[in-house]
Amino acid sequence: TWSSMSTTSASGPNCAMPTPAPDFVALDHQGKKVKLSDFRGKVVLLNFWASWCGVCKTEKPSIKAMADNLSSDDFVVITLASDHSWTDILLALVDSLAPGQKPKGEVSFDQALAAYQKALPDGIPFKVFIDPPSNDGNIGAITQSWGITAVPESALIDRQGNLRAYFVNKRDWTTNVAETCIRSVIDE
Protein backbone atom coordinates (compact mmCIF):
# COMPACT_ATOMS: atom_id res chain seq x y z
CA THR A 1 0.00 0.00 0.00
CA TRP A 2 0.98 3.64 -0.40
CA SER A 3 0.60 4.61 3.19
CA SER A 4 2.94 5.73 5.86
CA MET A 5 4.73 2.92 7.61
CA SER A 6 2.89 1.44 10.53
CA THR A 7 4.35 0.41 13.85
CA THR A 8 3.82 -3.23 12.90
CA SER A 9 5.99 -3.27 9.77
CA ALA A 10 7.31 -6.75 8.97
CA SER A 11 10.67 -5.33 7.96
CA GLY A 12 12.34 -1.97 7.84
CA PRO A 13 12.29 0.62 10.58
CA ASN A 14 9.68 0.00 13.25
CA CYS A 15 8.50 3.46 14.18
CA ALA A 16 5.78 6.07 13.96
CA MET A 17 5.99 8.74 11.27
CA PRO A 18 7.58 11.20 10.99
CA THR A 19 10.80 10.14 12.68
CA PRO A 20 14.41 11.10 11.92
CA ALA A 21 15.91 8.97 9.16
CA PRO A 22 19.04 7.18 10.38
CA ASP A 23 22.06 8.90 8.84
CA PHE A 24 24.71 6.85 7.09
CA VAL A 25 27.93 7.16 5.14
CA ALA A 26 28.11 5.32 1.81
CA LEU A 27 30.56 5.45 -1.10
CA ASP A 28 29.95 6.81 -4.57
CA HIS A 29 31.48 5.28 -7.72
CA GLN A 30 34.70 7.26 -7.17
CA GLY A 31 35.11 6.06 -3.58
CA LYS A 32 33.99 9.41 -2.14
CA LYS A 33 32.12 9.26 1.16
CA VAL A 34 28.57 10.59 0.96
CA LYS A 35 26.20 11.03 3.90
CA LEU A 36 22.43 10.90 3.72
CA SER A 37 22.44 14.15 5.71
CA ASP A 38 24.34 15.79 2.81
CA PHE A 39 20.92 15.90 1.09
CA ARG A 40 19.15 17.75 3.93
CA GLY A 41 16.98 20.47 2.42
CA LYS A 42 15.82 18.16 -0.38
CA VAL A 43 13.10 15.53 -0.41
CA VAL A 44 14.80 12.14 -0.86
CA LEU A 45 13.44 8.88 -2.13
CA LEU A 46 15.91 6.29 -0.81
CA ASN A 47 15.72 2.94 -2.60
CA PHE A 48 17.48 -0.10 -1.13
CA TRP A 49 18.35 -2.70 -3.80
CA ALA A 50 21.01 -5.12 -5.06
CA SER A 51 22.33 -6.23 -8.45
CA TRP A 52 21.57 -9.88 -7.67
CA CYS A 53 17.89 -9.06 -6.97
CA GLY A 54 15.72 -9.70 -10.04
CA VAL A 55 12.75 -7.85 -8.54
CA CYS A 56 14.99 -4.83 -7.90
CA LYS A 57 16.05 -4.79 -11.54
CA THR A 58 12.41 -4.88 -12.71
CA GLU A 59 11.71 -1.84 -10.50
CA LYS A 60 14.57 0.28 -11.93
CA PRO A 61 12.79 1.43 -15.14
CA SER A 62 9.92 2.94 -13.12
CA ILE A 63 12.39 4.56 -10.70
CA LYS A 64 14.20 6.06 -13.70
CA ALA A 65 10.94 7.34 -15.23
CA MET A 66 9.78 8.82 -11.92
CA ALA A 67 13.16 10.47 -11.29
CA ASP A 68 13.11 11.91 -14.83
CA ASN A 69 9.58 13.23 -14.27
CA LEU A 70 10.04 14.69 -10.78
CA SER A 71 13.66 15.81 -11.06
CA SER A 72 14.18 19.23 -9.47
CA ASP A 73 16.41 21.11 -7.07
CA ASP A 74 14.02 20.01 -4.30
CA PHE A 75 13.98 16.26 -4.97
CA VAL A 76 16.61 13.53 -5.35
CA VAL A 77 16.43 9.77 -5.77
CA ILE A 78 19.21 7.83 -4.06
CA THR A 79 19.65 4.11 -4.60
CA LEU A 80 21.78 2.14 -2.15
CA ALA A 81 23.09 -1.11 -3.65
CA SER A 82 23.88 -4.05 -1.37
CA ASP A 83 26.76 -5.21 -3.55
CA HIS A 84 30.42 -6.11 -3.31
CA SER A 85 31.48 -4.45 -6.58
CA TRP A 86 30.70 -1.58 -8.90
CA THR A 87 31.04 -4.00 -11.82
CA ASP A 88 27.93 -5.88 -10.65
CA ILE A 89 26.04 -2.61 -10.07
CA LEU A 90 26.88 -1.22 -13.53
CA LEU A 91 25.89 -4.49 -15.23
CA ALA A 92 22.59 -4.60 -13.33
CA LEU A 93 21.80 -1.02 -14.37
CA VAL A 94 22.54 -1.83 -18.02
CA ASP A 95 20.50 -5.03 -17.80
CA SER A 96 17.47 -3.26 -16.30
CA LEU A 97 17.59 0.08 -18.15
CA ALA A 98 18.98 -0.96 -21.55
CA PRO A 99 17.78 -4.55 -22.09
CA GLY A 100 19.90 -6.63 -24.45
CA GLN A 101 23.01 -4.46 -24.08
CA LYS A 102 24.62 -6.23 -21.12
CA PRO A 103 27.89 -7.93 -22.12
CA LYS A 104 28.02 -11.71 -21.80
CA GLY A 105 30.46 -13.73 -19.71
CA GLU A 106 33.10 -12.50 -17.27
CA VAL A 107 33.36 -8.73 -17.43
CA SER A 108 35.99 -6.44 -15.90
CA PHE A 109 35.10 -3.14 -14.27
CA ASP A 110 36.40 -1.24 -17.32
CA GLN A 111 34.25 -3.36 -19.64
CA ALA A 112 31.20 -2.87 -17.41
CA LEU A 113 31.80 0.89 -17.32
CA ALA A 114 32.17 1.00 -21.13
CA ALA A 115 28.94 -1.00 -21.54
CA TYR A 116 27.15 1.36 -19.12
CA GLN A 117 28.41 4.47 -20.95
CA LYS A 118 27.42 3.03 -24.33
CA ALA A 119 23.97 1.79 -23.21
CA LEU A 120 23.15 4.86 -21.10
CA PRO A 121 25.11 7.72 -22.71
CA ASP A 122 23.14 10.37 -20.83
CA GLY A 123 23.61 8.60 -17.49
CA ILE A 124 20.73 8.01 -15.12
CA PRO A 125 18.54 10.52 -13.20
CA PHE A 126 19.25 9.00 -9.80
CA LYS A 127 22.28 8.59 -7.57
CA VAL A 128 23.78 5.18 -6.86
CA PHE A 129 25.88 4.43 -3.79
CA ILE A 130 27.37 1.11 -2.70
CA ASP A 131 26.57 -0.64 0.59
CA PRO A 132 28.86 -3.69 0.68
CA PRO A 133 27.60 -6.68 2.65
CA SER A 134 29.88 -8.14 5.32
CA ASN A 135 31.67 -11.36 4.42
CA ASP A 136 29.39 -13.60 2.33
CA GLY A 137 26.17 -11.79 3.24
CA ASN A 138 23.65 -10.41 0.78
CA ILE A 139 22.43 -7.30 2.61
CA GLY A 140 24.73 -4.32 3.14
CA ALA A 141 25.66 -3.01 6.57
CA ILE A 142 23.76 0.28 6.11
CA THR A 143 20.69 -1.53 4.83
CA GLN A 144 20.86 -3.91 7.81
CA SER A 145 21.20 -0.96 10.20
CA TRP A 146 17.83 0.27 8.89
CA GLY A 147 16.32 -3.10 9.91
CA ILE A 148 15.95 -4.28 6.31
CA THR A 149 16.37 -7.99 5.65
CA ALA A 150 15.16 -8.16 2.02
CA VAL A 151 15.30 -5.77 -0.93
CA PRO A 152 13.84 -3.78 -2.62
CA GLU A 153 12.46 -1.38 -0.05
CA SER A 154 12.22 2.41 -0.16
CA ALA A 155 11.87 5.36 2.19
CA LEU A 156 10.56 8.84 1.51
CA ILE A 157 12.46 11.44 3.54
CA ASP A 158 11.43 15.08 3.92
CA ARG A 159 13.66 18.18 3.77
CA GLN A 160 14.28 18.04 7.53
CA GLY A 161 15.59 14.47 7.30
CA ASN A 162 12.47 12.77 8.66
CA LEU A 163 11.03 9.51 7.35
CA ARG A 164 7.58 10.27 5.98
CA ALA A 165 6.69 6.98 4.27
CA TYR A 166 8.17 3.53 3.94
CA PHE A 167 7.50 1.08 1.12
CA VAL A 168 8.08 -2.66 1.41
CA ASN A 169 8.92 -4.51 -1.83
CA LYS A 170 8.89 -3.06 -5.33
CA ARG A 171 6.57 -0.34 -6.58
CA ASP A 172 5.51 1.07 -9.90
CA TRP A 173 6.85 4.55 -9.28
CA THR A 174 5.14 5.89 -12.42
CA THR A 175 1.59 5.56 -11.08
CA ASN A 176 -0.47 8.62 -10.17
CA VAL A 177 -0.63 7.36 -6.58
CA ALA A 178 3.18 7.23 -6.34
CA GLU A 179 3.56 10.70 -7.83
CA THR A 180 0.89 12.12 -5.51
CA CYS A 181 2.60 10.57 -2.47
CA ILE A 182 6.00 12.01 -3.40
CA ARG A 183 4.64 15.39 -4.53
CA SER A 184 2.72 15.79 -1.27
CA VAL A 185 6.07 15.89 0.56
CA ILE A 186 7.84 17.98 -2.12
CA ASP A 187 5.02 20.57 -2.13
CA GLU A 188 4.98 21.08 1.66
Phi-psi region at 169: left, alpha or beta (left = phi > 0; alpha = psi -120 to 50)? left
What is the per-residue pLDDT across 108-126, written as a single tens digit (0 to 9) for each? 999 999 999 999 999 999 9
- 3-class SS shares of the chain: helix, strand, coil, % to 5: 30, 20, 45
Q: Beta 75-81 vs 43-49: how paired, if at all? A: parallel
pLDDT of residue 18: 83
Average pLDDT, integer, range 94-101:
94
What is the per-residue pLDDT across 135-170, written as a single tens digit (0 to 9) for each? 778 999 999 999 999 999 999 999 999 999 999 899
State how far the Cα of 10 lies from the Cα of 168, in Å rounded to an integer.
9
State how far the Cα of 105 lies from the Cα of 97, in Å rounded to an integer.
19
4 has pLDDT over 90:
no
